Amino acid sequence: MTSLKKAVMILLAAAAMSPVYAQIQDEVKQKSLENLSELAKTVGMSENRKNIILKDGTVLKNAYILSQKPNGVNIAHDDGASFFRFSDMPPQVQKLFHYNPIQSASYERRFQQSQREATLKEEADRIKREQAMKKAATQIKDERIMKQRTFIQNLELQLAEARRKAATMDKQIEENRKDQVNLSKAKKTTAYVWGGGLFRRPHFRDIAAHSQGNQALAGTVNDLRQETKTLEPKRDQIEVDIINLELRIEAEKNSLEKMMKKDPLIDFDFEMPW
């Protein structure tokens, strides 16, 4: 802003605060009211609201003037309210409002320019909002994808642990079954090395001790049999868990694949960032 413009603005601000300026404003308002009254008489209007006939023959029934602008007036009538340019009105009406074609054209250009600027601003704001929405939606999508991947990784860890337990139980059950068979064959021997350690039995000629040895051997075999019966259902349940985990992981991976293909602006719910 130049120094001259600043000086003019200061003078105008000072003038607006003076009593003289207020008096001028009142005179302008009164003149406008007189013009409106004169216009009403010219076009055949009265306080009872008559009709206005425009240059093209359009009749505005029970019309009255709402406001004035440099290029026309707002008129209310039976069919609603509309803005009519002075160029569409009879010459006598234009004269009453001191219609100036040059000033009117200048006002039109400024108005159209302001409309274009408003449209451009609105479009820029729309693009900005869309970009913000896309950024927020993409962020939500990335967070959900990361959460889904973490969930799948946890399931895979559970699957690996279940398989490890299953393998351990398979080995234990196999060893128990093998020991049951071998211990059953140990009745004819005095010593046998098995998974539980060294099993030693007294000489056959010591009948009492030999009988006690057989009882101990039978007890050990029975213990192994019971342990095997206890492990087998647990092993079966782990196998069911493994199958369920495998199916769950496959389903979650398919869900992740679909999630990665989704449009974040359409397929994800999110709150606006403002």
Say if CB 96 and CB 39 are below 8 A apart: yes
pLDDT at 192 over 80: no
Instruction: Give the pairing type, strands 64-69 and 59-60.
Output: unpaired
Rounded distance between C-alpha atoms, residue 133 and residue 126, angstroms = 10
DSSP state of 100: -
DSSP string, 57-75: S-EETT-EEEEEETTEEEE
Rounded distance between C-alpha atoms, residue 81 and residue 31, angstroms = 24
Rounded distance between C-alpha atoms, residue 144 and residue 129, angstroms = 22
pLDDT 10s digits, 142-159? 999 999 999 999 999 999
What pLDDT sits at residue 239? 93
Q: Give every CB contact of residue 258 below 8 A, 6+ residues apart in sequence.
A: none
What pLDDT sits at residue 30? 54
Q: Report the pLDDT averaged over residues 8-14.
A: 52
Percent of residues, the chain, with pLDDT higher than 70? 66
Give the tokens for residue 57: 């023959």
pLDDT at 124 over 80: yes
Confidence of residue 272 (pLDDT cuts 50, 70, 90): very low
Say if CB 21 and CB 15 are below 8 A apart: yes
pLDDT at 87 over 70: yes
Q: Report the pLDDT averaged over residues 83-92.
A: 86
| Residue 221 to residues 186, 200, 266, Cα–Cα distance (Å) | 11, 14, 67
Rounded distance between C-alpha atoms, residue 100 and residue 84, angstroms = 15
pLDDT 10s digits, 16-56? 555 544 554 555 445 544 555 555 554 444 344 577 778 88
Least Cα distance to 236 among 247, 244, 224, 225 occurs for 244
Confidence of residue 273 (pLDDT cuts 50, 70, 90): very low
The average confidence (pLDDT) of the chain is 76
Bridge partner list, 147: none
Rounded distance between C-alpha atoms, residue 39 and residue 95, angstroms = 10
Beta strand spans in the chain (E) = 52-53, 59-60, 64-69, 72-77, 80-85, 191-194, 197-200
pLDDT at 137 over 50: yes
| Residue 146 to residues 121, 134, 253, 273, Cα–Cα distance (Å) | 37, 18, 12, 21
pLDDT 10s digits, 204-239? 444 444 455 566 667 777 777 888 888 888 889 999
